[in-house]
Amino acid sequence: MHEENLKDAIFTSIFDDEDIYRRLYVPTVFHLRKNPQDQSRIKELVDNVTMKYCKKNNLEYDQMPNEMKKELEVDLYNEMIENENK
């Protein structure tokens, strides 16, 4: 799978899976509201979501490019900021 498509698929899976959204994404948003400088929670979120995506789709987590994960972190952070400003 192409790296950009993979990143988009993982990003979309966060919002399509109610359990992931409720248990992983929402707490990260609340944490970042209180601690805007703590970027480690977004990294944890990306790692956890990527692992779940890999398990669900029979992919190897170790083969996921670090560059893709960093881009996903940026996209998620931007999504959180956009929603805060609405």
Q: How many domains does the chain have?
A: 1
Distance, CA of 7 to CA of 69 (rounded, Å): 8
Q: Indicate the DSSP class of residue 63.
A: G
Q: Yes or no: say if 25 and 31 are a contact pair by the CB < 8 Å rule.
A: no
Q: Yes or no: say if 12 and 2 are a contact pair by the CB < 8 Å rule.
A: no
7-17 mean pLDDT: 95
Structural domain that includes position 65: 3-84
Which are the contacts of 50, defined by CB distance < 8 A and separation ≥ 6? 10, 61, 64, 69, 72
Write down the pTM of the prediction: 0.88
Kindly report, residue by residue over 25-82, the tens digit of the pLDDT: 999 999 998 998 888 999 999 999 999 999 999 999 999 999 999 999 999 999 998 8
